[in-house]
Structure 1
Amino acid sequence: MVRHKVSTKAAGGLLALGRLKAGQQNKTEAAYEATLRAREAAGEIVWYRFEGLKLRLADSTFYTPDYAVMLASGQIECHEVKGRWMDDARAKIKIAAEMYPFRFLAVFAKAKKDGGGWDVEVFE
């Protein structure tokens, strides 16, 4: 039997402690990749990679966006897929947006009752 520790400190209830191993997607990230595949098939995106970039923010401080994306125009975007903001993730994406010449997006899954799809917050 496998047991997982849980924390009730975050707003909204129980959250699992720990993260998936590098290179493993959670369910929301996997669902978002289906959107990226559709955009690639439509010619909007020419390339994307899960955890494809690791950006240095300071000594011993890095930010790895969930997806590095190259648009058909050649512009590079960094997409962060979120259920909700936790820890220092919001601060890191803001700092990265100030330091690097990429477009940074936070993508949130919309509830099915709200029509599904994705809400997007842009950091520039």
Structure 2
Amino acid sequence: MKRLYAKGRLRPGEMNATESAYAAFLKAEQQAGRIEKFWFESMKVKIAAGKCWYTPDFMVLRPNGEIELHEVKGTLAVFQDDARVKVKVAASQYPFRMFVVFPKAKRQGCGWNIEEF
């Protein structure tokens, strides 16, 4: 089985095309009143001793004051090993709802698939 890997990472603070599309989705959700605010790469959480940190792609504030962390991937297939472990560990250590989001396949139409951890 051939493993898929994400393409090279951009500089911190720069969105790739999938993250930009998700930011546009979040902006529409904000205008509709379903979220209050969102931030891109605005926080880091320590997930293990030493230098092991996790930086979620988006932090989202809901109208009820709840904060969610959203990790954006191009496909679920690239959400492997290191990234999956970091999200699971962060979800178990911090009081945030954690989501991994990826675009729906063309045959599924437009929108986003969302998996909660």
Is the structural similarity TM-score above 0.5? yes
Match of 1:23 among 9, 13, 18: 13
2:109 aligned residue = 115
2:56 aligned residue = 65
1:67 maps to a residue whose letter is F
- Change beyond 3 A, Cα 1:15–1:50: closer
- For residues 39-67 of structure 1, the C-alpha deviation after alignment (integer angstroms, 9 at most, x for no partner) is 10011111110001110111210000000
Match of 2:3 among 7, 11, 28: 11
Match of 1:96 among 90, 95, 100: 90
1:105 aligned residue = 99
1:99 maps to a residue whose letter is Q
| TM-score, normalised with respect to structure 2 | 0.89
After TM superposition, give the deviation of residue 113 of structure 1 in Å.
Answer: 2.5
Report the Cα distance in structure 1 between the residues aligned to 2:42 and 2:6, rounded to whole angstroms: 26
SS of match in other structure, 2:36 = strand
Report sequence identity in percent.
48
1:37 aligned residue = 27
Instruction: Extract unaligned runs of 5+ from structure 1.
Output: 1-9
1:62 maps to a residue whose letter is W
After TM superposition, give the deviation of residue 19 of structure 1 in Å.
Answer: 1.2
Identify the structure with the greater strand proportion: 1
Q: Which has the higher contact order (CA 8 A, sep 6+)?
A: 2
| TM-score, normalised with respect to structure 1 | 0.84
2:100 maps to a residue whose letter is A
2:42 maps to a residue whose letter is G
1:80 equivalent to 2:71? Answer yes
1:82 maps to a residue whose letter is K
Most deviating of 101-110 and 51-60: 51-60
